[in-house]
Amino acid sequence: MTLDVAWAIGWVRLSAQTVTEHRSELIELDRQIGDGDHGENLFRGFTAVTAKLDALETQPADIGEVLKLVATTLMSTVGGAAGPLYGTAYLRAAKATGLPELDSHGVVALLEAALEGIVARGKARTGEKTMVDAWAPAVEAAVAAADAGATPAAVLEAAAAAAGAGAEATVELIATKGRASYLGERSQHHMDPGARSTELILRAAAQAAE
């Protein structure tokens, strides 16, 4: 079993759907430890991506082309920290998908590249209460699943579940990166919005692969 361009397009559309459905929740999370724009930022970004996909005259040829469209659109439409962070993630992921179809190890390479992009851009490490706390365990779980012979869909499901646990674990962390770090200890007892949106986006990737 492999994933192709139809999966990538499905991933984008389901991401747009889930950030729309969770828009208020992400706004509320960001209101508690940030400036309350994360839900709006991602809603705007993914709505713009789907609009661009709809307007294309010829369908994208491969996964890389889809991810590149996501990257450039998020970078130009999403403000704040998340735009450049997700933008870099998708750009690196696009470059990591050389082949037209992805097997389990190809999926791992995509996720690893995305995490590398986020770390290169934001310089956060795990434990700083950022989206890295969802992405890093997601990549770890994906590697383990692929090494154990899981299908691409199962690799993505393992990644999404680990991102969810990672997002949950940000609740007790004190932020030392990003806007939430201005709150110091008052950032504790709240979930990081970017970790939560990471979980949602990875769940969309898994759903698209079903």
Q: Is 192 in the site for ligand ADP (CB under 6 A)?
A: yes
| Nearer CB in complex with Mg ion: 3/27 | 27
Q: Is 80 in the site for ligand ADP (CB under 6 A)?
A: yes
| Nearer CB in complex with ligand ADP: 11/135 | 135
Residue of the chain from 9, 15, 27, 37 that contacts Mg ion (CB under 5 A): 37
| Nearer CB in complex with ligand ADP: 9/115 | 115
Q: Is 41 in the site for ligand ADP (CB under 6 A)?
A: yes
Q: What token pair was written down for 106?
A: 């190809």
Rounded to whole angstroms, how far apart are CA atoms 12 and 136?
21
Beta carbons of 179 and 199 less than 8 angstroms apart: no
Residue of the chain from 38, 44, 190, 196 that contacts Mg ion (CB under 5 A): 38
Q: Which residue is nearest to ligand ADP (CB)?
A: 194
b/e code 42-78 from CB counts within 10 Å (16+ = b):
bbbbbebbbeebeeeeeebebbbebbbbbbbbbbebb
Rounded to whole angstroms, how far apart are CA atoms 32 and 24?
12
Instruction: Report the nearest approach of Mg ion to the CB of residue 24 (Å).
Output: 14
The contacts of residue 9 (CB under 8 Å, 6+ apart) are 53, 59, 60, 66
Tokens 């991933």, located at residue: 11
Beta carbons of 114 and 93 less than 8 angstroms apart: yes
Rounded to whole angstroms, how far apart are CA atoms 22 and 13?
14
Beta carbons of 27 and 39 less than 8 angstroms apart: yes
Q: How many Cβ atoms are within 10 Å of 23's Cβ, its own excluded? A: 17
Q: What token pair was written down for 49?
A: 């991506």
**Using CB under 5 A, which of the segments 29-37, 58-66, 106-114, 148-156 binds Mg ion?**
29-37
Q: Is 44 in the site for Mg ion (CB under 5 A)?
A: no
Instruction: Report the nearest approach of ligand ADP to the CB of residue 141 (Å).
Output: 19
Residue of the chain from 15, 88, 97, 130 that contacts ligand ADP (CB under 6 A): 130
What three-state secondary structure class fits 12? helix
| Nearer CB in complex with Mg ion: 59/76 | 76
Instruction: Report the nearest approach of ligand ADP to the CB of residue 191 (Å).
Output: 9
Instruction: Report the nearest approach of Mg ion to the CB of residue 197 (Å).
Output: 11
**Binding positions for ligand ADP, rule: CB under 6 A:** 30, 34-35, 37-38, 41, 80-82, 85, 118, 122-124, 130-132, 177-179, 192-195
